[in-house]
Amino acid sequence: MLFPALHQAQRAERPDPRACPDGRTPFAEGQPPTLLGRPVVEAIDLPDVAANSTPIVYGDLSAAYRIFDRVGFSVLRDPYTLSDYGQTKFTARRRVAGAVVRPEALRKLRVSVN
């Protein structure tokens, strides 16, 4: 699940009316936050909770989204920049890309007005 940052904070402040069977809270120290047994991830680019918005994404992110290695890993040796100090500078670069490969694995949950 993906939630916006503000919603995460509001959810953490709200008391849980139902006691968990094993006595732990969803925000127990050292444990990742969960909802319905699934991990919750904070996404800063999702919209805030408002009427007719879609602030929550639910699904299998590992099946829906892939990160690709575009160019690979390259290292450039620069013996000239720091030669006065007897050092060699190395610059490393890795280019990656990401894309949704299975949109049916995600569902955006819409917030409605009561």
- Bridge-based pairing state of the strands 56-59 and 65-78: unpaired
Quick check: is 92 in a domain?
yes
Total number of domains constituting the chain: 1
Segments forming the whole domain that contains residue 60: 2-109
Confidence (pLDDT) at 111: 81
Quick check: is 83 in a domain?
yes
Quick check: is 34 in a domain?
yes
The token pair at 91 is 């610059």
pLDDT confidence bin for 7, thresholds 50/70/90: low
Quick check: is 114 in a domain?
no
Quick check: is 82 in a domain?
yes
Confidence (pLDDT) at 91: 95
Q: Which residues pair with 39 in a beta bridge?
A: 34
50-85 pLDDT per residue, tens = 888 888 888 888 899 999 888 888 999 999 999 999
| Cα–Cα distance for residue pair 29/7, rounded to 1 Å | 19
- How open is the CA angle 30-36-38, to the nearest 5 degrees? 60
pLDDT confidence bin for 45, thresholds 50/70/90: confident
15-40 pLDDT per residue, tens = 555 545 433 455 566 777 777 777 77
Fill in the DSSP letter of residue 6: H
Fill in the DSSP letter of residue 22: T
Neighbours of 53 (CB within 10 A): 16
